[in-house]
Structure 1
Amino acid sequence: MLDFDVAQTRLAEAGKRPKDTENCPLYQAAGRVLSRPVIATLDLPPTDNSAMDGYAIRYADYHAGRRLSIQQRCFAGEQPQPLQQGQAIRLFTGSLMPAEADTVIMQEDCHEIDNAVDIRQEPKKGSHVRKQGEDVRAGQTILSAGTLLGAAEIALLASQGIIELPVYPRLKVGILTTGDELVFPGQPRKNEHIYNSNGPMLAVLADKLGARVVHVLHALDTSASLQKALNTLLKDCDLVLTVGGVSVGEKDLVKPAIEQAGGTLDLWRVCMKPGKPVALAHARGKPIVCLPGNPVSAFSVFALLVTPLIRTMQGRAEILPPVHWGRLKTSREFKETREEFLRVRAEPTPHEIPGLVPYDKQGSGIISSLPWASGFARIRVNTAVGNDAVVPYYDYRYWLA
């Protein structure tokens, strides 16, 4: 069987990084990937300003017991007068620092009476002043190409007055489920049918990563149905994901359908549980990844093997998210001839790392384990692991984002 880490690397490298770029409005940029670095054109803060509600003074004017006259009250958004010697200016958080002032005394340390202020606590020179450029300097690279944009990045871009930015086009993903036994939710179901959970699941997973799901198609177990669906997906999508139908049974027709579409397929038996059968193909210059049909297996393969490929094709700088550590909390021992990825829930402990509680049932058809879990605990091949063992933890928050 193919080593799990080797399979992960091969899939991450199976797609091409994007070359095209487009402009995107700031307010629509969440989930997009920067195609070029962004250079600051403005110091942040643009000028010195007050970090507190309080009083701006010259530090040299402070003497214990000395009362300073209030020269002006200046709110944020107003222009302060130059500070005169021996006086103070009432400021508020965000107010510009007056010329000649170098220190802000927060209001809790002051007492105002008769338009003058008593300073009750000796200040430190320069205290509570946000200095121009202390956050960002003009000319500084604030975001690199390949950055995935979220609320924090958009806040930084907005602080520079940016309203449009260069991004890579959204990756177009097509999903193909197969099998005569499947019907989509909302359709009539006979006794011999089961509802198609893989199609909606994979569509949501791809969408959450910022991809654009163009099609979610289903093909019957016939060459004509598969060929028609594949032709549509290869025409309209950058990446195709198929589910089921790549084994060696009489109705496993995905492989010949890919070959008829001009592709070649490499079927792997990956050393992982769940999710051993995985196939990679290229047709018309586009990658096709064939996932196992069991929903938990499809979910696991997508999270651990397909998301690095998607990140590559999106142009992201970070392809493999971090792997954390946790401590198993279990009454049983795990030992497998494949790398096992347990569905676990992370729980806080007094220690630095979380406790990882496995779901009671770990079968590849146990869909209820997916919403219950917060990630995967990795059990190394041929290694006996039990309670309190420290193991790698693949957190959904990072691997599915």
Structure 2
Amino acid sequence: MLDFDQAQTLLANAAGPLQRTEHVDLTQASGRVLAADLDATVDIPPADNSAMDGYALRLADWSLDARLPIQQRCYAGDVPEPLKPGHAIRLFTGSVIPEGADVVVMQEDATEADNLVQISREPKPGQHIRRRGEDTRAGSPLLPAGTLLHAAHVALLASQGLASIPVFAQLRVGILTTGDELVQPGQPRATEQIYNSNGPMLAAMVRGMSALPVHVLHARDTETDLLAAFKTLLADCDLVLSVGGVSVGERDLVKPALAALGGELSLWKVRMKPGKPVALAQIDGKPVVSLPGNPVSAYAVFATLVTPLMRRMQGRAEIFPPVSQLRLRTAQPRQDAREEFLRVQCRVADDGGSELTPYGHQGSGVISSLPWSTGLARLPADVLVHDQDQVAYYDLRHWLA
């Protein structure tokens, strides 16, 4: 069996970024990956402007008893007149600072009557003025290629007047489930059968990674059906994920099917629990990753081993999300010959720190543990782990995004 870290590195480097790029409207950019470095095109703010509703004046004209004539009322979007000495201009948040003004006084510190304003507090030089270019300067780096775009990035790009941007094409993923015992949800089920949860689960996980589940197919446990399904997926997808049929049973036929298509296995079996039976093959330059059939095992393998590969293929700059070290709560010491990935909840402890509480039943078929869990706690192989020991924590908010 391959050690987990070796397997993760091998899978993460199984393919490079997609070469296909396209331009998308900025309103459709969230969840896409930027395909080129972008520089700022304009200064933000484009001119000195007021950070408050208030009055623009010269600091030299202020005194506690001075009553300054209001020269103009200037709203955001208006062009102000040059400020006359001994006068004030009424401004609003976002109004351009008039030529000659060097301070803005917020309206709470001012009293206006008969078109005159009196300032009750001494202003500080430059107060409440947002300077041109203090946010971004035209020509300065804005966002690097490989950025996974979210609403905050979209706001920044929109502030530059960009209507469309270059992004990598969305990763196209094919999903294949296997097993004669599986029935699609919504169909009649015999006692000896179970519903296929892996297909919908993986499709949802792929979408959560901002990729496209192009096909979600199911094949019976025959080499003919498997070959036909793999051919369809390889023709239409950049990455193929199969589930089940990769162990050593008589009807585990995924490996022979991959070999028949010219696939060479570069990985088989990982020293992790759950998730030992994992395979990686390359066919026509496309990676095929075979996951274990138990839903929890498939979930854990996808989260920890498949998502770095997907991020690389998407062109993202950050392939591996952060892994933190947190305290594990366990009633009894734990030890296993494989690295164990426990389904846990991250909770606030009595001392204000964070601690990890495992789900009560860690069986690889216990699907109810998945929506309960916030992440996976990684316990090292062949090490006795006690209550309150620090362990690695894979936060699924990051590892499945």
TM-score, L = length of structure 2:
0.97
Give the Cα separation in 2 of the matches to 1:392 and 1:352: 19
Give the Cα separation in 1 of the matches to 2:2 and 2:105: 66
8 Å CA contact 1:242–1:288 kept in 2: the answer is: yes
The CA deviation string for residues 23-56 of structure 1, in whole angstroms up to 9 with x for no partner, is 1111111111111011111001111111111111
The equivalent residue for 2:169 is 169
- After TM superposition, the structure 1 stretch with the greater mean CA deviation from structure 2, 254-263 or 64-73, is 64-73
Give the Cα separation in 1 of the matches to 2:341 and 2:108: 55
8 Å CA contact 1:267–1:277 kept in 2: the answer is: no
The equivalent residue for 2:244 is 244
Per the TM alignment, residue 351 of structure 1 is displaced from its structure 2 partner at its CA by 5.4
Q: Secondary structure at the match of 2:90?
A: strand
Give the Cα separation in 1 of the matches to 2:333 and 2:194: 33
The equivalent residue for 1:303 is 303
The CA deviation string for residues 245-264 of structure 1, in whole angstroms up to 9 with x for no partner, is 01111100001111111211
The CA deviation string for residues 101-141 of structure 1, in whole angstroms up to 9 with x for no partner, is 11111112222222222211121100111100000000011
Structure 1: segments with no counterpart, 5+ residues:
none
Per the TM alignment, residue 378 of structure 1 is displaced from its structure 2 partner at its CA by 1.4
The equivalent residue for 1:235 is 235
- After TM superposition, the structure 1 stretch with the greater mean CA deviation from structure 2, 63-72 or 41-50, is 63-72
Q: 1:136 to 1:122 in 2, by over 3 A?
A: same
Give the Cα separation in 2 of the matches to 1:266 and 1:253: 17
8 Å CA contact 1:176–1:218 kept in 2: the answer is: yes
Please list every run of at least 4 consecutive aligned residues from structure 1 whose deviation after the TM superposition is greater than 6 angstroms.
Answer: none
Give the Cα separation in 1 of the matches to 2:93 and 2:116: 20
8 Å CA contact 1:336–1:381 kept in 2: the answer is: yes
Q: Secondary structure at the match of 2:201?
A: helix
Give the Cα separation in 1 of the matches to 2:260 and 2:357: 46
Letter in 1 for 2:76: A
The equivalent residue for 2:89 is 89
Matched, 1:49 2:49: yes
* Alignment coverage as a number of residue pairs: 401
The equivalent residue for 1:361 is 361
| Equivalent residue runs for 1:342-381 within 5 Å | 342-349=342-349, 353-381=353-381
The equivalent residue for 1:25 is 25
Q: Secondary structure at the match of 2:231?
A: helix
Per the TM alignment, residue 269 of structure 1 is displaced from its structure 2 partner at its CA by 2.1
Q: CA RMSD in A?
A: 1.3
8 Å CA contact 1:2–1:270 kept in 2: the answer is: yes
Give the Cα separation in 2 of the matches to 1:229 and 1:73: 71
Q: Secondary structure at the match of 2:257?
A: helix
The equivalent residue for 1:388 is 388
8 Å CA contact 1:15–1:309 kept in 2: the answer is: yes
Per the TM alignment, residue 267 of structure 1 is displaced from its structure 2 partner at its CA by 4.2
8 Å CA contact 1:328–1:387 kept in 2: the answer is: yes
Give the Cα separation in 2 of the matches to 1:102 and 1:329: 60
Give the Cα separation in 1 of the matches to 2:152 and 2:388: 36
Per the TM alignment, residue 384 of structure 1 is displaced from its structure 2 partner at its CA by 2.1
The equivalent residue for 2:131 is 131
Give the Cα separation in 1 of the matches to 2:93 and 2:351: 39
Per the TM alignment, residue 265 of structure 1 is displaced from its structure 2 partner at its CA by 2.0
Give the Cα separation in 2 of the matches to 1:333 and 1:121: 66
Per the TM alignment, residue 386 of structure 1 is displaced from its structure 2 partner at its CA by 2.7
8 Å CA contact 1:334–1:384 kept in 2: the answer is: yes
The equivalent residue for 1:209 is 209
8 Å CA contact 2:7–2:267 kept in 1: the answer is: no
8 Å CA contact 2:70–2:88 kept in 1: the answer is: yes
Give the Cα separation in 1 of the matches to 2:311 and 2:347: 28
- After TM superposition, the structure 1 stretch with the greater mean CA deviation from structure 2, 352-361 or 52-61, is 352-361
Give the Cα separation in 2 of the matches to 1:328 and 1:67: 67
Give the Cα separation in 1 of the matches to 2:267 and 2:34: 34
Give the Cα separation in 2 of the matches to 1:250 and 1:7: 26
Give the Cα separation in 1 of the matches to 2:269 and 2:353: 33
Letter in 1 for 2:107: Q
Letter in 1 for 2:101: A
The equivalent residue for 2:104 is 104
The CA deviation string for residues 335-369 of structure 1, in whole angstroms up to 9 with x for no partner, is 22211111111122465742211111111111111
8 Å CA contact 2:208–2:400 kept in 1: the answer is: yes
Matched, 1:290 2:302: no
Matched, 1:218 2:218: yes
Q: 1:56 to 1:350 in 2, by over 3 A?
A: farther
8 Å CA contact 2:40–2:140 kept in 1: the answer is: yes
8 Å CA contact 1:324–1:394 kept in 2: the answer is: yes
The equivalent residue for 1:321 is 321
Matched, 1:150 2:150: yes
Letter in 2 for 1:379: L
Per the TM alignment, residue 371 of structure 1 is displaced from its structure 2 partner at its CA by 0.4
8 Å CA contact 1:325–1:353 kept in 2: the answer is: no
Per the TM alignment, residue 390 of structure 1 is displaced from its structure 2 partner at its CA by 2.1
Per the TM alignment, residue 147 of structure 1 is displaced from its structure 2 partner at its CA by 0.6
Letter in 2 for 1:3: D
Q: Secondary structure at the match of 1:255?
A: helix
TM-score, L = length of structure 1:
0.97
Q: Secondary structure at the match of 1:156?
A: helix
8 Å CA contact 2:197–2:295 kept in 1: the answer is: yes
Give the Cα separation in 1 of the matches to 2:332 and 2:123: 62
Give the Cα separation in 2 of the matches to 1:377 and 1:248: 28
Q: Secondary structure at the match of 1:277?
A: coil
